[in-house]
Structure 1
Amino acid sequence: MNVQAEAVATGFIELPFAGGEHFLSLTGPLYAKRDGDKLVLGLRIEKRHCNIAGICHGGMLMTFADMQLGLGARFGAEEEFGFMPTVSMTADFLAPAPLGAWVEGRTDLLRATRNFLFCQCIVSSNGAPVMRASGIMKLGGAPIPIKGLPNLRTLLK
């Protein structure tokens, strides 16, 4: 199976920050689309994402969920925020995501305070839940732009 040649799910575009010399260049590319007022991230599971059992490594799913939580909460908030460090994150692994699967995440922003965003997400593989995660993201003072990432609401009109 040539996973690289498989199509990206309909409506998704590649996020421009997935390349370069940082951690996401090793794990991506990540894709995104708007679903109403929600940001949905997507990822095609490649061999490099898998453990020795041939399923997506839990650490890769955690990385994906961390991005989904942060960007999804940022997208759902009324204000525009820049980089938000993860203060806390918990995860429950529900089922495997096999090689070649299309993985999607959706975030619910539960609460926003002056300093934190509280959120949760469900990560699904081919429509079935594979992971549930919750997180707390730290807000800074003035918005800090994420290098190479345009305003997501503008990008995903």
Structure 2
Amino acid sequence: MENPATVPAGMKKLQLLAGFLETNGPLWGRLHEDDGLPVMGFRVELRHCNPMQICHGGMLMTFADMLLSFTCGIGAGGRKFMPTIQLSGDYVGPAPLGSWVEGHGRLLRTTRNLAFAEAMITADGAPCLRTSGIMKIPSQETREGNILALFN
């Protein structure tokens, strides 16, 4: 269990549903003061690492998927988690064991059905993953829920 003292000030533990997302946590987040979009992070634990004690690319992409989905969901005015249509990433540096991984997504564009976002994810402030994604905006009748509540 992550010690809150090792998490940057202002971050709140995200209470995710049980299952895959909760298993890979704990994940932390807050809303950015300038644009109201999510800032998310996690501390790299041994269970996140490959044999070289560097965060596994699969964990970084899982984190990127969640960050971009929440960014699109909040930025597009929706209240529900958006499913991923496309996700890409370029590994640009390591995220060693013990490092703080953090990302702040940027909503690029929305259409009636899709939202486009990108982020630079860092490890202790150094770039480790450049990512972009396309998320499906759910139909009106399936927009119940409140992802903003995770960050408040």
Report the equivalent of 2:91.
Answer: 93
Partners of 2:151 and 2:21 in 1: how far apart?
20
Report the equivalent of 1:33.
Answer: 30
Q: Please list every run of 5 or more consecutive structure 1 residues that lacks an aligned counterpart in the other structure.
A: none
In the superposition, relative to structure 1, how do residues 43 and 145 fare at CA in structure 2: closer, same or farther (>3 Å)? farther
Indicate if the aligned counterparts of 1:4 and 1:46 stay in contact, CA closer than 8 A. no
Partners of 2:32 and 2:137 in 1: how far apart?
24
Partners of 1:83 and 1:151 in 2: how far apart?
7
Q: Please list every run of 5 or more consecutive structure 2 residues that lacks an aligned counterpart in the other structure.
A: none
Q: In the TM superposition, what is the alpha-carbon distance from 1:42 to its structure 2 partner?
A: 0.8
Is residue 132 of structure 2 the alignment partner of residue 137 of structure 1? no
Q: Which amino acid aligns with 1:68?
A: L
Report the equivalent of 1:47.
Answer: 46
Question: How big is each residue's C-alpha offset from its partner over 1:63-88, in whole Å with a ceiling of 9 and x where there is no partner?
Answer: 000001000122222x2231311001
Is residue 76 of structure 2 the alignment partner of residue 73 of structure 1? no
Partners of 2:57 and 2:147 in 1: how far apart?
29
Normalising by the residue count of structure 2, what TM-score does the alignment of the two structures yield?
A: 0.89
Is residue 6 of structure 2 the alignment partner of residue 24 of structure 1? no
User: What is the total number of aligned residue pairs between the two structures?
Assistant: 148
Identical residues among aligned pairs (%): 44
Q: Which amino acid aligns with 1:61?
A: L
Question: How big is each residue's C-alpha offset from its partner over 1:5-50, in whole Å with a ceiling of 9 and x where there is no partner?
Answer: 4611111000111x52x11122011100122222100101000000
Report the equivalent of 1:60.
Answer: 59
Report the equivalent of 1:126.
Answer: 124
- 3-state SS, counterpart of residue 79 of structure 2: coil
- 3-state SS, counterpart of residue 117 of structure 1: strand
Indicate if the aligned counterparts of 2:55 and 2:96 stay in contact, CA closer than 8 A. yes
- 3-state SS, counterpart of residue 73 of structure 1: helix
Cα RMSD of the aligned pairs, angstroms, is: 1.8
Report the equivalent of 1:13.
Answer: 12
Partners of 1:83 and 1:74 in 2: how far apart?
6
